[in-house]
Structure 1
Amino acid sequence: MQSSELVRQFMNCFNQLNVYDISPVFETNMPGFHHHPSLGIVENHRNFCHHGYYAQTLIISEHTGSHVDAPVHCHGEKATIDQLPIDCLIGPYKKYDLVNYALEAGKPVGIDILREVEERDHFSVQAGDIVLIDFGWDQYYKPDAGGKERDWWGKNEPGLTSEVCQYFYESGIKAIGADTPGVDICMVNGEILSAPGHAEYFLPNKILIMEGFSRMNQAPATGIFMALPLKIKNGSGSPIRPILLAYE
């Protein structure tokens, strides 16, 4: 088959899919994991009046907004972001919709809940999948709020049990992401109670962790996940623009 025919068939399939943007807007002082520096934007740094063109300057962490953690982030001998293959964040996704479970910060989600969701939404996790956990936590992401209300999202999350992290590891998943600041991290008021995925099951085993998603509730349970990290030399991670492609 000629390449032009393959391209035509690919675009025919692509045009039948709905595209869902699950990233927040990147803006100055946006909420994030409380230990990481926030984003700063020098607005109008180059402007038409003084320079003849418009451009802003960004001062940004590798772990700002929707982003991916490279294995080196928590394990110094592991791969940096520029060493990962270009398609490391492209693949089929399975989404666990936990919005109606009334989750609480500091109480990790167990395997029983995930099994219920798999049965309810008629899917199972396969090798090479990208797992998405919709905790419903983006309801607490409030960049326009002030003080403790604005900072709460970056200091609190339910997380995942060690049993859940082991289940995903043994399933052979490619990556995992969520609408919380730490996915597997169980945290209350900035105190980390557990982080089995970061420490043992995910990053040490080249399973990438993505954090800071939003509006995943708009997309169906299964489809295609796509995001590209920046090729940052010796990077511990990178901001990304994640999208979901799905047929309904």
Structure 2
Amino acid sequence: MTLVETFRGARIIDVSPVIRPGMPVFPGHPALEIDATARTHSRDGYFLQTLVIGEHTGAHADAPAHAVASMAAQTIDSIPVERFVVPYLIIDLAPLSLAAGEYATAADVRAAEVATGHSLEAGDAALLDFGWEAHYDEPDDWWVRNAPGLAEDACAYLLGCGVGLVGSDTATCDIAMRDGAMLAAYGHSTYFLPNGIPIVEGLAGLGSAPRRGVFVGAPLKIAGGSGAPLRALLISEGEQ
């Protein structure tokens, strides 16, 4: 079977939130602004909006330059795009019912991996479903100011698996948050970004997606960017 034939029978799932005014934005980051009147049909003969948007808005990727000062040259535009088109495995941590500020351990991650019937392989994207999307529309940016995260041994486990990307349905991936305070950042500071492993945050709909497939999430190619928004897609042959 050719690649085209395989693709024609594939299921494609959008796991990105809608970019819209009022969406949750990380504390201290610029709020999203959309000017829907920049160009209008009545005045200009066509419709166009302008956006003021932080690099880490909505579903987005973090480059090593975002959190590792010694890797300032490893910006989002320097990362080969194939790093964002990789097999994925969804690690379902939602049954743990972790609260804001709590951590999933290596044992938790491994148990969720085993439950899929698959194993993380070198280069895979490990997509962490904390079940946090349920809090997305809570007032006062609660979703982005609070989140569970990964214990240090969980980050070490994923690094040991040789993952090529780590994503999550929280705004901070491995970082546990409580009331806007970061409690630890093992992946950002030690295990993921310092080892050249991109992080993707703010994913949506992981809970209903097939467990295994191909992740496609090419970030905007922003010169010197610390990260960039992306449209995250999952491609699968069917429910797994």
TM range (shorter): over 0.9
Shift of 1:241: 0.2
Partner SS for 2:49: strand
Tell me whether 1:39 sits opposite 2:20 in the alignment: no
| C-alpha distance in structure 1 between counterparts of 2:51 and 2:179, whole Å | 29
Considering only aligned residues, what root-mean-square deviation do their CA atoms show, in Å? 1.2
Structure exhibiting the larger radius of gyration computed from Cα positions: 1
> What residue in structure 2 maps to residue 131 of structure 1?
126
Sequence identity of aligned pairs in percent? Answer: 40
> What residue in structure 2 maps to residue 167 of structure 1?
157
Shift of 1:111: 1.5
Tell me whether 1:49 sits opposite 2:34 in the alignment: no
TM-score, normalised with respect to structure 2: 0.95
Contact 1:157 1:187 in 2 (8 A): yes
Contact 1:20 1:218 in 2 (8 A): no
Tell me whether 1:154 sits opposite 2:144 in the alignment: yes
- Alpha-carbon deviations, 1:41-97, whole Å to 9, x = none? 011210011111100000011101000001000112320111111212111001111
Shift of 1:172: 1.2
- Alpha-carbon deviations, 1:206-238, whole Å to 9, x = none? 000110011111211111000111111111000
Shift of 1:123: 1.4
Shift of 1:30: 1.0
Shift of 1:121: 1.4
TM-score, normalised with respect to structure 1: 0.92
Partner SS for 1:88: helix
Alignment of 1:67-82 (within 5 A): 67-78=60-71, 79-82=74-77
Tell me whether 1:27 sits opposite 2:17 in the alignment: no
Mark the runs of 5 or more structure 2 residues left unpaired by the alignment: none
Contact 1:93 1:225 in 2 (8 A): yes
Contact 2:106 2:155 in 1 (8 A): no
- Aligned with 1:246 (options 219, 236, 240): 236
Contact 2:9 2:237 in 1 (8 A): yes
> What residue in structure 1 maps to residue 4 of structure 2?
11
| C-alpha distance in structure 2 between counterparts of 1:115 and 1:82, whole Å | 32
Q: Give 4+ residue runs of structure 1 displaced > 6 Å after superposition.
A: none
Partner SS for 2:55: coil
Tell me whether 1:236 sits opposite 2:226 in the alignment: yes
Mark the runs of 5 or more structure 1 residues left unpaired by the alignment: 1-7
| C-alpha distance in structure 2 between counterparts of 1:90 and 1:192, whole Å | 30
| C-alpha distance in structure 2 between counterparts of 1:11 and 1:150, whole Å | 46
For this pair of structures, how many residues does the alignment match?
236
Shift of 1:115: 2.0
Shift of 1:21: 0.3
| C-alpha distance in structure 1 between counterparts of 2:37 and 2:83, whole Å | 35
